């Protein structure tokens, strides 16, 4: 029997969630509907996070949560890759957000994002509230939780946050993190270039990424505000992926989505090499092989298998024959 890579190379519970590489945030009804239309056009290469925090008009939080639930339930949510951001756990609307979103759309939401936990106990409380709502309404039993690391306390507890079983992904909240330093970090550290240079910001990014990888969770990189500068967006996304170990990144404008997806995608040459090595390994029943005068074994096979998976997540078509051999399907 020929084993698939997923059977031969990945131990049960060892692989992180297979999430799209881009997470697009939108808060107004017009922008949310436009994002759903764009996702229908491009396919599930990016997630949509419907924003009940910054997107909700003050005084209309309940109505906004209802709207987000309706959009998640609608036929426009074609791929099941729509999540929602709730208010922080200490906000008066937090519990109502959770009750509305889980109670109405718990089985259609891809995740709930919890912003601004101040420490481990905040996120534990948020998860307890979410789990209470799933039991009460009988929906969303397996609903993943994402969280934003943007406070001193959350960064201090980041290893424990990543270890929580329901947590699927941690994101870095750059703007609030810089602001929390009360002017000690300059404004330039919030820019597309400075955020990769200031030592305190670099430290935070690396600690979040390392904690996620250690716990088998997905690290999601912060926003770039220069949404009209495609080169700056692409460069930031490449650095996040290749230097800081992030496998996902936020978008706050539709023009950012494609540059982020492209930057996180492996090159054609990388994919071709990965396919050749993994197919040869499969033919050798996962014993060591020699490829272009280089020896490979199961350790390097795992790396090249991850390259192939990343190609799929970013919408790159694979040769039908390779897809059949590696995924057990003829679909690219």
**296 in the same domain as 322:** yes
Give the chain's largest Cα–Cα span. 66
Q: What is the rounded distance in angstroms from the CA atom of residue 264 to the CA atom of residue 120?
A: 30
What pLDDT, on a 0 to 100 scale, did the predictor assign at position 6? Answer: 87
Q: What is the CATH number of the domain that holds 119?
A: 3.20.20.60
**113 in the same domain as 84:** yes
Q: What is the rounded distance in angstroms from the CA atom of residue 224 to the CA atom of residue 24?
A: 12
The β-bridge relationship of strands 218-221 and 112-114 is unpaired
**225 in the same domain as 315:** no
**143 in the same domain as 228:** yes
Q: What is the rounded distance in angstroms from the CA atom of residue 222 to the CA atom of residue 240?
A: 9
Q: Hey, how many other C-beta atoms are within 10 angstroms of the C-beta on 128? A: 12
Q: Is residue 305 part of a domain?
A: yes
**178 in the same domain as 70:** yes
Q: Is residue 285 part of a domain?
A: yes
What pLDDT, on a 0 to 100 scale, did the predictor assign at position 332? Answer: 46
User: What six digits make up the tokens of 120?
Assistant: 């481990």
pTM (2 d.p.): 0.92
Assign 12 a pLDDT band (cuts: 50, 70, 90): low
Q: Is residue 332 part of a domain?
A: no
Q: Is residue 58 part of a domain?
A: yes
Query: Has residue 16 got a pLDDT over 80?
Result: no
Q: How many domains does the chain have?
A: 2
**200 in the same domain as 318:** no
Q: Is residue 173 part of a domain?
A: yes
Q: What is the rounded distance in angstroms from the CA atom of residue 308 to the CA atom of residue 275?
A: 7
Assign 331 a pLDDT band (cuts: 50, 70, 90): very low
Q: Is residue 17 part of a domain?
A: no
**140 in the same domain as 182:** yes
Using DSSP's 3-state secondary structure scheme, residue 290 falls into strand
Assign 23 a pLDDT band (cuts: 50, 70, 90): very high
Give the residue from 264, 289, 305 where a domain finishes.
264
Instruction: Tokens 């492996």: give the residue.
Output: 266
Q: What is the dihedral of CA 306, 311, 315, 316, to 10 degrees?
A: -150
Domain ranges, residue 87: 22-264
Give the residue from 264, 279, 294 where a domain finishes.
264
How confident is the model over 183-228, as pLDDT tens digits? 999 999 999 999 999 999 999 999 999 999 999 999 999 999 887 8
- What stretches of 82-229 show up as alpha helix (H) in DSSP? 94-105, 120-137, 152-156, 158-163, 174-179, 199-215
**211 in the same domain as 283:** no
How confident is the model over 230-289, as pLDDT tens digits? 899 999 999 999 999 999 999 999 999 999 999 999 999 999 999 999 999 999 999 999
Assign 14 a pLDDT band (cuts: 50, 70, 90): low
How confident is the model over 96-122, as pLDDT tens digits? 999 999 999 999 999 999 999 999 999
**Lowest-confidence region among 1-15, 29-43, 256-270:** 1-15
């Amino acid at each position: 029997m020929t084993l698939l890579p997923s059977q031969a190379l990945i131990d049960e519970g060892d692989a992180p969630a297979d999430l799209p590489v881009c997470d697009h945030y939108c808060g107004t009804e017009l922008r949310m509907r436009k994002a759903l239309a764009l996702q229908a056009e491009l396919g599930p290469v990016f997630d949509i996070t419907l924003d009940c925090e910054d997107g909700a008009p003050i005084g209309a939080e309940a109505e906004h949560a209802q709207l987000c639930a309706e959009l998640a339930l609608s036929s426009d949510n074609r791929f099941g890759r729509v999540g929602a951001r709730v208010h922080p756990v200490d906000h008066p609307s937090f519990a109502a957000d959770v009750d509305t979103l889980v109670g109405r759309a718990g089985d259609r939401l891809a995740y709930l994002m919890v912003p601004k936990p101040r420490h481990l106990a905040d996120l534990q409380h948020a998860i307890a509230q979410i789990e209470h709502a799933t039991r009460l309404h009988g929906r969303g039993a397996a609903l993943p939780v994402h969280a934003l690391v943007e406070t001193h306390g959350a960064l201090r507890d980041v290893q424990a946050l990543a270890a929580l079983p329901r947590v699927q992904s941690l994101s870095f909240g750059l703007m609030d993190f810089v602001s929390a330093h009360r002017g000690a970090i300059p404004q330039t550290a919030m820019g597309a270039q400075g955020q990769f240079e200031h030592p305190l910001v670099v430290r935070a990014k690396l600690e979040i990424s390392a904690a996620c990888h250690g716990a088998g969770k997905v690290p999601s990189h912060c926003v770039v505000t220069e949404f009209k500068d495609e080169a700056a967006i692409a460069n930031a996304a490449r650095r996040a992926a290749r230097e800081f170990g992030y496998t996902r990144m936020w978008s706050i404008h539709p023009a950012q989505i494609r540059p982020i997806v492209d930057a996180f995608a492996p090159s054609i040459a990388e994919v071709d090499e990965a396919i050749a090595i993994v197919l040869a390994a499969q033919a050798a029943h996962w014993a060591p092989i020699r490829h272009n005068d280089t020896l490979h074994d199961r350790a390097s096979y795992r790396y090249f298998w991850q390259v192939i998976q990343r190609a799929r997540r970013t919408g790159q078509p694979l040769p039908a024959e390779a897809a059949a051999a590696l995924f057990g399907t003829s679909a690219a």
